[in-house]
Copies of this chain bind each other. A is one copy, B any other.
């Protein structure tokens, strides 16, 4: 895996550095957690105490440009990142709990029909989409039900 990453960097003409490896590792290890830049910074600092914030930000931008990770904005003031598993079509949606703020991913993609409609009616060529569902997760629903008794 380390080798792969090294390889990818070289192919794109970038140098391999320990810092980049660690940033990538942290995001990989926390797949699905959507860590924000600062959390990633903290995590990397555990393994590599001398890393600077700037490097983390620069690396995250780099990895995003290379298509290895993607950034999302959940309107909480942070930019959050996660791995791109399938570079061709990261077709998944996010379920954001309004109570606890947890974020889970849903894999299904049923937007094909909608995209076709948009293509037809609005002459807009859809390349990608990002869907966020706001609501209440299982845990919070149960908590809320209990409290209501």
A contact residues vs B (CB 8 Å cutoff): 71, 73, 75, 79, 93, 95, 97-98, 104, 106, 108, 110-111, 113-115, 117-118, 121-138, 141
A42 shortest CB reach to chain B, Å = 23
Number of copies: 2
Q: Residues of B contacting A114 with CB < 8 Å?
A: 93, 108, 110-111
Contact with A124, one of B73, B79, B123, B135 (Cβ below 8 angstroms): B135
Q: Which residues of B contact A130 (CB under 8 A)?
A: 131-132, 134
Decide if the interface of chain A is mainly helix, strand, loop or mixed.
Answer: strand
Known contacts A126-B135, A128-B135; 9 additional CB pairs below 8 A are: A104-B124, A108-B117, A110-B117, A111-B114, A122-B138, A124-B133, A125-B136, A129-B131, A131-B132
Q: For the complex formed, measure the closest distance between the CB of A133 and the CB atoms of chain B, giving whole angstroms.
A: 5
